[in-house]
Amino acid sequence: MTELLAVDAGGTSTRAIVLSSDGRCLGFGTSGAGNPISSGPEHVAHQVTTAVGRAMRQASITQLDGVAVLAMAGSRASAPTDWIAPRLVQAGVRGPLVFESDLLATFCAGAWEPDGYAVVAGTGAAAIRVRGGRQEAVADGIGWLLGDAGSGFWIGRRVARAVAAQLDRRGPATALTGALLESLGIPADTTPLSPAGRPEALGALLEAVYAARPIDLARFAPLVFEVGDDPVASAIRADARAALRTSLRSIHRLDVSGPVVTGGGVLGRLGLDVAGLDGMREVRRVTDGSAGAAVLALRHHGVAVDALMFERVRTSLELVRTSSPRDPVS
C-alpha cells in the first residue's frame, strides 16, 4: 500500500495528513499559518514541514514515496517549487509534488460529487465553480487591497471605519465603538481632546491601527457578531452576506448543478442564502479543507473517489485528528 501526503495550508493554520492509497488516514499534524502570500514562503515552508513531520511521526513512517498534494492560496500548477520541495525531501517526502487550490480542497472536503460550488470567507473570501472535479471559475479571492468582499478583513475594516467615524463625529453611535476600544485597551471616554482638537480615543485608535499590518484588521470581525442588534453591526453583517452572494452568483451556471460547500470562520457565523440560484441543491458546511486535500491526493494517485471512499477518508481523518498529539502551533 502506498502512503500519500495531503496538506491543507490556510491563513491561520496548516494541517497535514498521511493516508494510504485505500483512503485510510494514518497520521495528522498541525502547525501555524500556511498562506505564502500573506505570511511569506520561508515562514510557510517551515510550517508545512513541521505539520508534515508531525503527521509522519503519528503514521510511524520516515519516508513517503507517494504523491504529495499541497492545497494553498495562490497555487499554480506551473509555479516554482524550489522554496518548499527541498525542505520536504529533507523531511522524507520523496514522491511527486502537486499544488492545488485551497478553494478546491474546501469543495472536496464537503462533496465527493464532481460538480458544484464552494464559498469561503475567513480572513479572505472567494467563490469557485467546480466541474468534473476541477476548479473551472473563481470570483474574488484577490486580496485585501482589491477584493475579498465579505471576508474577515473586509468586515474588520468596516468595524474600524465605523468606530473612527463615530469618534470623529462623522458617523452614528454604535456599540462597536466600546467593544473595539476595549479590545485595544483604549479608554472609551471620548470627551478629552488632544492638542490637535481630536478625541484622545480616536488618536489612540489611529496609532494602534496604523501600527499593525492591514490584514490584521480581520481580528475585529468577531465584534459584529458580539454586539447583538446594533444597527451599524447589523448593516455590516447584511452587506457581507450580500457580497458573498454576489461572488457566488457571478460564477453560477445553469448547466452546473451540485452542492454548495461553505468554509471559513466568518461564513460559518454569517450563513449563506442560495435561494433563487438554480441547480444548487444544498449547502454543506466544512470546518477546513483537510479532507478535501486528502481526496485530491487520492485522485492524483489515480484513485476514483466515490461516496464510500469519501466517507472512509472523513471517518478515518476524524480518528487520527482526535488522537494526534497536541503539538504546540509554532
Question: 58: closest CA among 263, 261, 325?
Answer: 325
Q: Tell me whether residue 249 is in a domain.
A: no
Q: Tell me whether residue 137 is in a domain.
A: no
What distance in Å separates the CA atoms of residue 186 and residue 195, rounded to the nearest whole number?
A: 18
Domain of 60, CATH number, reads 3.30.420.40
Those residues with Cβ within 8 angstroms of residue 75's Cβ, 6 or more apart along the chain or in another chain: 99, 100, 101, 102
Count of beta carbons in the 10 Å neighbourhood of residue 269: 15
Please write the tens of the pLDDT for every residue from 99-143: 999 999 999 999 999 999 999 998 889 999 999 999 999 999 988
Helix axes 200-211, 175-183, angle to 10 degrees: 60
Count of beta carbons in the 10 Å neighbourhood of residue 303: 16
Q: Tell me whether residue 66 is in a domain.
A: yes
What distance in Å separates the CA atoms of residue 259 and residue 117, rounded to the nearest whole number?
A: 6
% helix, strand, coil for the chain, step of 5: 40, 20, 35
DSSP per residue over 53-82, as a string? HHHHHHTT-S-B-S-EEEEETT--TTS--T
Residue type, 46: H
Q: Tell me whether residue 105 is in a domain.
A: yes
Range list of H helices, 62-199: 85-90, 102-110, 152-167, 175-183
The confidence score (pLDDT) of residue 328 equals: 54
Q: Tell me whether residue 221 is in a domain.
A: no
Residue type, 132: G
Q: Grid coordinates representing 224?
A: 459584529
What distance in Å separates the CA atoms of residue 135 and residue 248, rounded to the nearest whole number?
A: 14
Give me the domain span that covers residue 35. Answer: 3-109+288-323
pTM above 0.85, yes or no: yes
What distance in Å separates the CA atoms of residue 176 and residue 225, rounded to the nearest whole number?
A: 10
Question: What residue ranges of the chain have pLDDT lower than 50?
Answer: 77-78
What distance in Å separates the CA atoms of residue 306 and residue 63, rounded to the nearest whole number?
A: 28
Q: Tell me whether residue 15 is in a domain.
A: yes
The confidence score (pLDDT) of residue 77 equals: 47
Q: Cα 193 to chain center, whole Å?
A: 41
Q: Tell me whether residue 305 is in a domain.
A: yes
Helix (H) or strand (E) holding 298: helix 290-300
The neighbouring-strand residues paired with 125 are: 121
Residue pair 152/218 in contact by the 8 Å Cβ criterion: yes
Q: Categorise residue 84: left if φ over 0, alpha if ψ from -120 to 50, beta otherwise.
A: alpha
Domain count along the chain: 1
Please write the tens of the pLDDT for every residue from 277-325: 887 778 999 999 999 999 999 999 999 999 999 999 999 999 999 887 7
> What does DSSP say about strands 68-72 and 97-101: parallel, antiparallel, or unpaired?
parallel
What distance in Å separates the CA atoms of residue 70 and residue 210, rounded to the nearest whole number?
A: 34
Ramachandran angles phi, psi of 35, nearest 5°: -95, 110
Q: Tell me whether residue 33 is in a domain.
A: yes
